[in-house]
């Protein structure tokens, strides 16, 4: 059970319901998951979080499936069950195969293993890894 | 300074040097970064870790750049400076643009934000996210 | 189910029961939550942990509600469901409104987002943020 | 050294410079710290992150100093040196005394200690901590 | 419910079943826990992970019980319920007493407390803690 | 540089200096590391933290070296450089060999790897791992 109610549409304030309906429009489905129904208790937070998510996960230089895989990886590292499950569902809907999911899990586990070794042994950063990218002018383009 | 010496080739035991040379062969470069030179203090750990990394990061169902992005994401979540820097270098070498790197950072940050909201509000997992994949027979293929 | 039994009063050793009764006295309620009943399996740990908690969360320069909010924030970051729920209850008992709780969640989420950006991009600390406070003599007062 | 350049004003694109100038206006100071100068490599991320931060850390139901304390607490738990230092500076500017800062550190440390005990011993959540707040209608107001 | 099926022996591919049977042989018991049955969906990951675990947790310079205690400590810090429970069972099977388990919990909690203080206050590393071990030649033996 | 001054003995209040001297007595050395000199800015926190540490790391059912290894493991998982370095020094002083340290690192890394797999795949806890210890009466002894 969440710390605040999982709101049905008719329990929400109008500002919250407007965001929920925008989620429906963008995702082209009537189903709106609990994360948003809980956030709806704070319409401003709902609007801001959805706005950021829509922008970050929208069209860019990385393809949508890659972004979902990164999202799952972070959620595993942060130990967020809800996020692992909801973004795994999203990734499957975007075409992630079961083999790709298992491979993702192996990469996340491998990274966690070497992360601990590098931190644990206090490996000094090689000079070659400290440099900036060749030309500042090329960044952000 | 690391907890154990960053070994030069001629300070390593033969078993360690053999692995270091295999890393050179596979990566087609003479340069071997400090992570491996520190691990070389324990030849068995060096051999095992390199063997796993080679297998996990080798050919599979996800492309090499995607794997590096996932690796960086986990390293950020775990707060490992060495790993962030070394795998960012690897990702750039595999063609990651500066725009892609900045987009990766936004996805990692966004995921961390919603992770905390889902954990902090104890959002219950939607029934639809609890299901297994349609057919066990299809997994792992 | 916990790793060791959640002890009833009559299953505890006398040293543990004495601490449990002190908790009742200080909190002015008969109810003692599971955290202490589990710790009661190790009377010395129970006594030490309660003593520290009582001192840290007791009167000081920060008001009690602010301390509870900080406690919840850390518990979210550490992913501790028990602690999130028990300290949210404590904060509500100390007057935290639902709006304040939602605002707390937003601050925790925002901090997690910018934490990841600062770590992920390896932002160098500004010189101005490295200074010590003006006068050592003023600290601790 | 950061992964991308810390941009001077004249190295930024116009959209980024506009946000930097807004930061100056809101904070009423010419000084803009490295975090924003690094984010400026991605004008959209800069604009979005600043917009969220301004909203979350702006006027609400929690006072500004309390929010900074929560921000620092999360930054400690996430191990972000940059964030610990910059928000400690911000909290001091908002009136945090040295005694309050030390008390904050004790609360964060205490919470981390009991978090690990609750997780480590798998303490079951008490029934009384599972309830929702008394009236859904009161939430978000 | 896991993200992929917990496989029975007869649902596994031959390569996976072979590893499962090796686990039975090494552990001298018919019981194989869910972790391996879930990993069996990816026979290569199962084989690699079991191979590494067997090597790391096998005979070395630290006794088996000490290794299990370290394993539990990391699992608590990472918030992994499955790992806390499975390795606590393993440690009990290797002779860990209830008093030792409670003492382990106290050490983990204490370390988490001082970790946060050292990070939170940004305590500078003492010069004496920065040195390498006296002689490189002695390492790895 | 720490957030508050690293105090010399003659900059401390009498209550703090008394604790510092007790540390010298117990450890039988004049050297007192920065952690305590920073905490000395808050005499009450110094006294409480040293008191807890002395009790937790003092004689018990686990030997002193094992406790130091657990302490290092948690510090690696929490990414605390200061703690990794100071407790590695302490463990070496208590007889940890270089081979034992490398083996510790491997166990920590392995645990981090399987932790991520168990969390990432949401492996359900086996019934056999959910049981309580055989007899409550035996706990805490």
Burial (CB count <10 Å: 0-12, 13-18, 19+), residue C97:
middle
The answer to whether F139 touches C46, Cβ cutoff 8 Å, is no
F80 touches chain D (CB under 8 A): yes
- Cβ-nearest to E107 among F70, F103, F106: F70
Residue in E closest to D74 by C-alpha: E120
Q: Rounded to the nearest 5 degrees, what angle is found at the Cα of A111, between the Cα atoms of E11 and A55?
A: 95
Which residue in this structure is represented by tokens 């190790």? C42
CB spacing of E34 vs F70 below 8 angstroms: no
Can you read off the two tokens belonging to residue F99?
């081979």
Gap between the Cα atoms of D122 and F73, Å rounded: 20
Set of chain F residues whose Cβ sits within 8 Å of the Cβ of C7 = 136
Which chains form contacts with chain D, at 3 or more CB pairs under 8 Å? A, B, C, E, F
Gap between the Cα atoms of D21 and D46, Å rounded: 12
F78 touches chain D (CB under 8 A): yes
The answer to whether B4 touches E139, Cβ cutoff 8 Å, is yes
**In 3D, which of B124, A4, C82 has the Cα closest to residue D125?**
C82
The answer to whether F43 touches F19, Cβ cutoff 8 Å, is yes
Set of chain C residues whose Cβ sits within 8 Å of the Cβ of D84 = none
* Mutate which: A9, A13, A140, vs D, most D CBs within 10 A: A140
Q: Is the sign of the CA dihedral E31, E33, E34, E37 positive or negative?
A: negative
The answer to whether E40 touches E2, Cβ cutoff 8 Å, is no
The answer to whether B78 touches A14, Cβ cutoff 8 Å, is no
Q: What is the DSSP string of E62-101?
A: S-HHHHHHHHHHHHHHHT-HHHHHHHHHHHHHTT--HHHH
Which residue in this structure is represented by tokens 């997994």? B139
Range of lowest pLDDT (B128-132, E17-21, E106-110): B128-132
**Distance between E91 CA and the closest CA of chain C, angstroms:** 12
The answer to whether E70 touches F73, Cβ cutoff 8 Å, is yes
C111 touches chain E (CB under 8 A): no
Residue in E closest to B127 by C-alpha: E1
Note the pLDDT of residue A131: 75
Can you read off the two tokens belonging to residue F38?
């920073």
**Distance between E14 CA and the closest CA of chain D, angstroms:** 37
**Distance between B109 CA and the closest CA of chain C, angstroms:** 4
Q: Rounded to the nearest 5 degrees, what angle is found at the Cα of E110, between the Cα atoms of E107 and E112?
A: 110
**Distance between A43 CA and the closest CA of chain B, angstroms:** 14
**In 3D, which of C95, B46, C41, B135 has the Cα closest to residue E52?**
B46
| Mean pLDDT value across residues F21-29 | 97
Burial (CB count <10 Å: 0-12, 13-18, 19+), residue A23:
middle
CB spacing of F79 vs D79 below 8 angstroms: yes
* Per-residue pLDDT tens over the stretch C7-61: 999 999 999 999 999 999 999 999 999 999 999 999 999 999 999 999 999 999 9
Burial (CB count <10 Å: 0-12, 13-18, 19+), residue F30:
exposed
Note the pLDDT of residue F1: 86
| Mean pLDDT value across residues A21-44 | 97
Residue in D closest to F47 by C-alpha: D106
Set of chain C residues whose Cβ sits within 8 Å of the Cβ of F79 = none
**Distance between E98 CA and the closest CA of chain C, angstroms:** 8
Which residue in this structure is represented by tokens 């129904």? A37
| Mean pLDDT value across residues F113-139 | 81
Gap between the Cα atoms of B65 and A69, Å rounded: 12
Note the pLDDT of residue E24: 98
Gap between the Cα atoms of E24 and E32, Å rounded: 7
Q: Collapsing DSSP states into helix, strand and coil, what is residue D15? A: helix
Gap between the Cα atoms of F21 and F31, Å rounded: 10
E125 touches chain B (CB under 8 A): no
Alpha-carbon dihedral E99, E100, E101, E104, rounded to 10 degrees:
130
CB spacing of F140 vs C11 below 8 angstroms: no
Q: Rounded to the nearest 5 degrees, what angle is found at the Cα of A80, between the Cα atoms of C97 and B129?
A: 100
CB spacing of B117 vs C110 below 8 angstroms: no
Which residue in this structure is represented by tokens 């429970």? E85
* Per-residue pLDDT tens over the stretch E64-122: 999 999 999 999 999 999 999 999 999 999 999 999 999 999 999 999 999 999 999 99
- For each of chain D's 141 residues, which pLDDT tens digit applies? 899 999 999 999 999 999 999 999 999 999 999 999 999 999 999 999 999 999 999 999 999 999 999 999 999 999 999 999 999 999 999 999 999 999 999 999 999 999 999 999 999 999 999 876 654 443 333
pLDDT over 90 percentage in chain B:
91
- Cα-based distances in Å from C8 to A9, C23, C31, C86: 44, 15, 12, 19
Note the pLDDT of residue D133: 62
B75 touches chain D (CB under 8 A): no
Annotate B110-130 with b (16+ C-beta within 10 A) or e (fewer).
bbbbbbbbbbbbbbebbeebe
Which residue in this structure is represented by tokens 């690796």? B71
Set of chain E residues whose Cβ sits within 8 Å of the Cβ of F79 = 119
Gap between the Cα atoms of D126 and D141, Å rounded: 28
Gap between the Cα atoms of A71 and E25, Å rounded: 39
CB spacing of A34 vs B114 below 8 angstroms: no
Gap between the Cα atoms of D35 and B113, Å rounded: 17
Residue in C closest to B71 by C-alpha: C120
Which chains form contacts with chain A, at 3 or more CB pairs under 8 Å? B, C, D, E, F
Note the pLDDT of residue C1: 85
Which helix H or strand E contains D74, and what residues bound it?
helix D64-77
Which chains form contacts with chain B, at 3 or more CB pairs under 8 Å? A, C, D, E, F
Note the pLDDT of residue F139: 36
The answer to whether F45 touches C45, Cβ cutoff 8 Å, is no
DSSP annotation of F123 reads P
CB spacing of C2 vs D31 below 8 angstroms: no
Q: Hey, what domains does chain D have and what are their CATH numbers?
A: 1-58 (1.20.1290.10), 61-123 (1.20.1290.10)
Residue B97 neighbours by CB distance under 10 Å: 17
pLDDT over 70 percentage in chain B:
93
C15 touches chain F (CB under 8 A): no
**In 3D, which of A48, E2, A41 has the Cα closest to residue B121?**
A41
Note the pLDDT of residue E137: 41
pLDDT over 90 percentage in chain A:
91
Set of chain E residues whose Cβ sits within 8 Å of the Cβ of F124 = 1-2, 6, 34, 82
* CB neighbour list of residue D87: distance below 8 Å, 6 or more residues apart: C111, D68, D71, D72, D75
**Band (A134; pLDDT cuts 50, 70, 90):** low
Gap between the Cα atoms of D77 and E115, Å rounded: 9
Angle, helices B81-93 vs A98-120, to 10°: value is: 130
D115 touches chain F (CB under 8 A): no
CB spacing of C85 vs A45 below 8 angstroms: no
Residue D56 neighbours by CB distance under 10 Å: 22
- Cβ-nearest to E102 among C45, C78, C79: C45
Q: What is the DSSP string of A68-80?
A: HHHHHHHHHHTT-
- Cβ-nearest to B132 among E1, E132, E139: E1
**In 3D, which of C107, B122, E102 has the Cα closest to residue D61?**
C107
C141 touches chain D (CB under 8 A): yes
**In 3D, which of A6, F116, D75 has the Cα closest to residue B112?**
D75
Q: Rounded to the nearest 5 degrees, what angle is found at the Cα of E115, between the Cα atoms of F12 and F56?
A: 80
C125 touches chain E (CB under 8 A): no
Residue E98 neighbours by CB distance under 10 Å: 23
Gap between the Cα atoms of E24 and D28, Å rounded: 68
A3 touches chain D (CB under 8 A): yes
Gap between the Cα atoms of D59 and D62, Å rounded: 8
* Farthest-apart Cα atoms in chain D, separation: 59
CB spacing of E103 vs C41 below 8 angstroms: no
Residue in D closest to A78 by C-alpha: D78
- Cα-based distances in Å from B130 to A74, B124, B125: 19, 11, 7
pTM score, whole prediction: 0.94
C99 touches chain D (CB under 8 A): yes
Can you read off the two tokens belonging to residue E63?
């006794």
* Per-residue pLDDT tens over the stretch A49-67: 999 999 999 999 999 999 9
**In 3D, which of F91, F90, B50, C3 has the Cα closest to residue E102?**
C3
* CB neighbour list of residue F131: distance below 8 Å, 6 or more residues apart: C1
Note the pLDDT of residue F132: 66
Q: Is the pLDDT of residue F138 over 90?
A: no
D136 touches chain B (CB under 8 A): no
Note the pLDDT of residue D131: 75
Set of chain F residues whose Cβ sits within 8 Å of the Cβ of E116 = 78
D4 touches chain A (CB under 8 A): yes
What is the CB-side half-sphere exposure of residue C14 using CA atoms within 13 A? 0
Note the pLDDT of residue C104: 98
**Distance between F69 CA and the closest CA of chain B, angstroms:** 14
Residue in C closest to F40 by C-alpha: C140
C139 touches chain D (CB under 8 A): yes
Let me know how long chain B is. 141
* Per-residue pLDDT tens over the stretch F44-59: 999 999 999 999 999 9
Note the pLDDT of residue D1: 86
First to last CA, chain F: 45
**In 3D, which of D105, A116, B4 has the Cα closest to residue E123?**
D105
Q: Is the sign of the CA dihedral F71, F75, F81, F82 positive or negative?
A: negative
Rg of chain C over CA atoms, in angstroms?
19
**Band (C133; pLDDT cuts 50, 70, 90):** low
φ and ψ of F99, to 5 deg = -65, -40
| Mean pLDDT value across residues B41-69 | 98
Residue F59 neighbours by CB distance under 10 Å: 8
């Amino acid at each position: 059970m969440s710390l605040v109610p999982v709101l049905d549409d008719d329990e929400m304030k109008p500002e919250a319901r407007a965001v929920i309906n925008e989620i429906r429009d963008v995702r082209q489905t009537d189903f709106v998951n609990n994360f948003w129904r809980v956030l709806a208790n704070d319409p401003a937070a709902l609007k801001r979080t959805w706005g950021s998510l829509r922008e970050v996960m929208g069209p860019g230089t990385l393809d949508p499936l890659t972004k979902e895989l990164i999202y799952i990886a972070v959620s595993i590292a942060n130990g967020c069950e809800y996020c692992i499950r909801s973004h795994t569902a999203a990734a499957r809907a975007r075409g992630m195969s079961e083999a790709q999911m298992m491979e993702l899990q192996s990469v996340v586990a491998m990274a966690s293993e070497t992360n601990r070794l590098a931190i644990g042994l206090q490996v000094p950063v090689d000079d070659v890894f400290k440099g900036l990218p060749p030309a500042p002018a090329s960044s952000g383009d």
